[in-house]
Chains A and B, each alone.
Chain A
Amino acid sequence: DAGVIQSPRHEVTEMGQEVTLRCKPISGHDYLFWYRQTMMRGLELLIYFNNNVPIDDSGMPEDRFSAKMPNASFSTLKIQPSEPRDSAVYFCASSLSQGLQETQYFGPGTRLLVL
């Protein structure tokens, strides 16, 4: 299996621009998670989906952030407009709800820098 795929791996943009991060989960997984990692706040869950439906978006910082999962093999996290404080590493993870043994497998992350 190819694992969780994220693109782009690095993104540099200017404040005010729209940023779209992409994720392809592991085939067959029914849960997808978006995390953000910063030095100040550590790793925090932004939102997660089950069978393409958002289950918990309480971690989404504000309305500038939105996430979609149009199908089982693709999800996006969009920031519009971006701000310097959004600079972070964004991880996507997926898991399979197989009994109680699920484990989240992480993608390589997207390093975002907003100037």
Chain B
Amino acid sequence: QVQPVDSGGGLVKPGGSLRLSCVVSGFTFSDHYMSWIRQAPGKGLELISYIGKISSPTYYADSVRGRFTISRDNAKNSLYLQMNSLRAEDTAVYYCARVIDSSIDHWGQGTLVTVSS
């Protein structure tokens, strides 16, 4: 069964950093683009970043460009999101998800990031 498992969320102060991880199983990780999508409390879905099969290309939404870095380790079936200079507006549930045929199919369970002093 295809199942991404997100982790790494928590409470962090404004200006702080956090690294999210996602481990996947059930498919050949290196065959697929992967993405991070977030959902602020009570709000909709926002694709913030994706990464190609061999770590290229990468994409960042304007809201996170220059502060967040996506990466992957195909040997470990793992996806990462390094988040720096965090702001209150980055508070959200962050989902790891597989990109396939210009759509998104399997989503992780989400990990909550709270930015607050």
A, B co-complexed? no
